[in-house]
Amino acid sequence: LSPSPDPTALVGDSPCIQRVYRQIAWAAHTDAAVLLHGETGTGKELAARAIHARSPRAQGPFVAVNCGALPETLVESELFGYVRGAFSGALDDKPGRIEMANGGTLFLDEVGDLPTAAQVKLLRVLDDQRIEPLGAVQPRLLDVRIIAATNRDVRCDIAAGRFRPDLYYRLAVMEIHMPRLAERPEDILPIARHLLATLAPAGSPALA
The yes-or-no verdict on residue 98 having pLDDT over 60 is: yes
CB 50 within 8 A of CB 10: yes
pTM as predicted: 0.87
Q: Are 46 and 23 in contact (CB under 8 A)?
A: no
Residues of the chain with pLDDT > 90, as a percent, come to 65
Measured CA to CA in angstroms, residue 117 lies from 1, 64, 70, 87 at distances of: 38, 20, 14, 18
Higher per-residue confidence, 133 vs 65: 65
Question: Of all helices (H) and strands (E), which one includes residue 169?
Answer: helix 165-171
pLDDT digits (tens, 9 = 90+) for 26-66: 999 999 999 999 999 899 999 999 999 999 999 999 999 99
Q: Tell me the sheet residues that pair with 45.
A: none
Q: Give per-residue pLDDT as tens, 171-182.
A: 999 999 999 999
| Predicted pLDDT at 166 | 96
Indicate if the pLDDT at residue 1 is higher than 50: no
Is beta strand 81-82 parallel, antiparallel or unpaired with respect to 94-95? antiparallel
| pLDDT score of 201 more than 90 | no
Choice among 1-10, 53-62, 123-132, 150-159 with the minimum mean pLDDT: 1-10
Q: Are 176 and 135 in contact (CB under 8 A)?
A: no
Residues 133-150: what's their mean pLDDT? 89
Burial of 59 (0-12, 13-18, 19+ CB in 10 A): exposed
At residue 7, φ and ψ (nearest 5 deg) are -70, -15
Choose between 18 and 137: higher pLDDT: 18
Q: How far apart are CA 41 and CA 114, in angstroms?
A: 20
pLDDT of residue 114: 94
Task: Return d(Cα 149, Cα 82) in angstroms, integer.
Answer: 25
pLDDT of residue 194 exceeding 70, the answer is yes
Section 175-197 average pLDDT: 89
pLDDT digits over 63-93, tens only?
A: 999 999 998 888 988 999 888 777 777 778 8
Distances (CA, A) of 57 to 138, 143, 155, 194: 26, 10, 30, 28
The per-residue pLDDT for 205 is 60
Q: Which residues of 14-48 are buried (b: 16+ CB within 10 A; e: fewer)?
A: beebeebbebbeebbeeeebbbbbbeeebbbbbbb
Q: 202 CB contacts (<8 Å, ≥6 apart)?
A: none
pLDDT band for position 2 (cuts 50, 70, 90): very low
What is the pLDDT at residue 170?
96
E-only strand ranges, the chain: 34-37, 62-66, 81-82, 94-95, 105-109, 130-131, 140-141, 145-150, 174-177
Distance, first Cα to last Cα, the chain: 26
